[in-house]
Amino acid sequence: MYIHQLHHWPTFTWDSEKLIPILTDVRFRQGKLLGKMDSLGFDLQSEAVLQTLTNDVVKSSEIEGEILDPDQVRSSIARRLGMDVAGLIPSDRNVDGVVEMMLDATQHYDKPLDDERLFGWHASLFPTERSGMYRIAVGGWRKNTKDDPMQVVSGGMGRERVHFQAPDSDQIPKEIHLFLDWFNNNFDSDPIIKAGIAHLWFVTIHPFEDGNGRISRAITDLQLSRADSSPQRFYSMSNQIRQERKQYYNILEKTQSGDLDITAWLNWFLECLKRAIDASDVILASVMRKTKLWTMPVSQTFNDRQRLMLNKLLDGFEGKLTSSKWAKIAKCSQDTAIRDIRDLIAKGILVKDEAGGRSTNYLLTI
């Protein structure tokens, strides 16, 4: 029996006394972060928001196994927010769709959530109406028969394991009506608690054929924007969930197969949110490094390839930077890559990695 089959569903309960300490800690860290960001200039705030939203979009899709190009995501967000950012590149329709959903959730957090808005988000996720080999019906709820229930399954043929079975599709209109009525009205507890409940409740209804996880995280971001009373995002819950994906699915499965006391789920949600807020220090450090670099007089002498690669390093380049990687990413010859790198070494921007290895690696000095 799953949680949505219980007699008192969806009357959730939780132990407030157990949650108050972690909720208080989260609120303290949240206030400290927002205060820190308020002390920055507009340009630094905008860059922090851009990096946070880029992480949010990329990591939310990555949780579902879909890999998006971070540069395309960044460019799509910057264009839609009217940011004057150098080095923007064209973005694919599927990237633009995910970005549109996330920006609608966070930038218009004060608007009511209704079924038409959810249909719009779903259509944005699947602009070609396809997911892998299967055609996805957009603009409406899933329609599966009782003989073909919506299940979350892992494993191959003959070794399948059912982690969760969603409500029958004929129940979805009623279930969604209850959810939206609750979500759009006042809530007696802290709005962050509401974000945790909303995430669990929506993903349990599982109203679409595909995309339920990403939409549930967009709803979470919408509610967290309401909790912050701001469209500016300086921390990414999706990024943290991606890092803790195994624990996320474990607590979700346990909660969906348990009773209506969701204290354990909310405790995990708050702890994850706390770690997401703490991780914002990494983004802030990156923003400060970027500001330091691009305000240096020598930065005016960089060519487009150098600007591209330096931005990638500042955004968190995965692995070690070599001349061959430079040539591949910057789409230039190996000789040109080496000249670019030597020029930056001479200007004090890069240094050789003394750790050595089979290939020579390079590091930022700032």
Q: List domains and CATH numbers for the chain.
A: 3-289 (1.10.3290.10), 297-364 (1.10.10.10)
CB 140 within 8 A of CB 119: yes
**Share above pLDDT 90 across residues of the chain, in percent, rounded to a whole number:** 72
Name the residue type at position 259: D
Ranges 82-86, 126-130, 142-146, 286-290, most confident: 142-146
pLDDT over threshold 50, residue 326: yes
**pLDDT at residue 133, rounded to an integer:** 38
pLDDT tens track for 185-219: 999 899 999 999 999 999 999 999 999 999 999 99
**pLDDT at residue 333, rounded to an integer:** 96
**pLDDT at residue 136, rounded to an integer:** 63
CB 13 within 8 A of CB 248: no
Per-residue pLDDT, averaged over 327-350, amounts to 95
Q: What is the DSSP string of 270-289?
A: HHHHHHHHHHHHHHHHHHHH
Which position has the higher pLDDT, 292 or 69? 69
Q: What is the DSSP string of 131-153?
A: ETTEEPP-SS-----TTS--EEE
Hey, is 154 helix, strand or coil? Answer: strand
Beta strands in the chain (DSSP E): 130-131, 134-135, 151-154, 161-165, 350-352, 362-364
Q: How many helices (H) and strands (E) does the chain have?
A: 14, 6
**pLDDT at residue 135, rounded to an integer:** 56
Q: Which of 84-98, 233-247, 341-355 has the lowest mean pLDDT?
A: 84-98
pLDDT over threshold 90, residue 78: yes
pLDDT tens track for 173-189: 999 999 999 999 999 89
pLDDT over threshold 80, residue 358: no
pLDDT tens track for 40-73: 888 888 989 999 999 999 999 999 999 999 989 9
Structure token pair of residue 295: 């305000």
Ranges 87-91, 145-149, 305-309, 315-319, most confident: 305-309
Degrees, nearest 5: CA angle 189-194-200: 140
Note the pTM of the prediction, 2 decimals.
0.85
pLDDT over threshold 50, residue 105: yes
pLDDT over threshold 90, residue 224: yes
pLDDT tens track for 293-315: 888 999 999 999 999 899 888 87
Q: Which of 292-301, 310-319, 324-333 has the lowest mean pLDDT?
A: 310-319
Hey, is 162 helix, strand or coil? Answer: strand
